Amino acid sequence: MKKIIILILFVFPATLFAQQMNIVSFNIRYNNTGDGVNAWPNRIEMVTGLLKFHDAEIFGLQEALYEQITDIQKELPNHEWFGVGRDDGIKKGEFSPIFFDKTKFILLRNGTFWLSENCEKPGLGWDAACNRVVTWGKFQSKVTGKQFVMFNTHFDHRGDEARKNSAFLIRDKIKEISGNQGLPIILTGDFNLAPESEPIALIKGFMKDSREVSETPPYGPVGTFTSFKWDAPMETRIDYVFTQGGVDVLKYAVLTDAKNQRFPSDHLPVFVKVQLK
């Protein structure tokens, strides 16, 4: 009997271990000395503590400056990250980096493209106020061998045409990068848009909103933007995790972790537990 059990485990390992992952999308607010008590040096421990406590295995950040990324890296030694500064493709300007637990995942490929007409190099797109990027990585699980692709972005806060065209560009890039192989796709980001907006509707035409398809009821407030205000109504949802393909969303939450009536950022992180099919 023991020999039979060992044989089954050897032949069918991928079918016996469900690949569940904790995904987080988190706009951490850039390091602005004008934020006073909410300036980055006063928030580092809250941000890293939140990520560690909720076991964020893969997470996409927005508004992260290089020094903030290295601060986080120091506190999460099991994680690696990748991404580039949006203004020069190296270190200048805000990043939209992806962090991943290197003990659980292998990074197979990664890259960056800009949300613009000429998406392979830094530059403004359409009517955008700022350069905007998408960071992407193709991963393989060390547990099951399953592969998936994650994209992380930060849409412009002003340009209507930029945001609409950004949705189309991401659709096309997902097809190109995934190679139409039917791989599970995850898209995280601060989209600066409400759910009823046209660009979000466009994205939902080829992806699923994790809040809407979660197997358990969504936890926490609807809104994700607080502007650091403790009494914020938390009704404005502009941060999302979208999925495509073989991804089951088991849980969805907007996290309201705080300390002494202070939030870790002016955005609340979106937490999603998913399972790859």
Query: In this predicted model, what pLDDT tens digit does every residue of 155-174 receive, in sequence order?
Result: 999 999 999 999 999 999 99
Q: Is the pLDDT of residue 1 over 60?
A: no
pLDDT tens, residue by residue, 8-54: 444 444 444 578 999 999 999 999 999 999 999 999 999 999 999 99
- Domains of the chain in sequence order: 2-276 (3.60.10.10)
Task: Round the average pLDDT of the chain to a whole number and report it.
Answer: 94
Give the model's pLDDT for residue 181.
84
- φ, ψ of residue 113 to 5 degrees: the values are -135, 150
43 class by beta-carbon count within 10 Å (0-12 exposed, 13-18 middle, 19+ buried): buried
pLDDT computed for residue 17 by the predictor: 57
Within 143-197, where are the H helices? 160-178
Q: Tell me: the pLDDT tens digits for 56-108?
A: 999 999 999 999 999 999 999 999 999 999 999 999 999 999 999 999 999 99
Report d(CA 90, CA 83) in Å as an integer: 8
What pLDDT is stored for residue 218 in this prediction? Answer: 98
Give the model's pLDDT for residue 19: 82
pLDDT, tens digit, 9 for 90 and up, residues 102-139 = 999 999 999 999 999 999 999 999 999 999 999 999 99
Q: What is the DSSP string of 85-114?
A: -TTTSSSSS-B--EEEETTTEEEEEEEEEE
Its pTM stands at 0.93
Beta-carbon neighbour count of residue 112 at 10 Å?
Answer: 21
Instruction: Give the pLDDT score at 235.
Output: 96
Higher pLDDT, 179 or 29: 29
Q: Which pLDDT score, from 0 to 100, does residue 219 have?
A: 98
Query: What pLDDT does residue 97 have?
Result: 99
CA-closest candidate to residue 59, choices 106, 101, 103 = 101
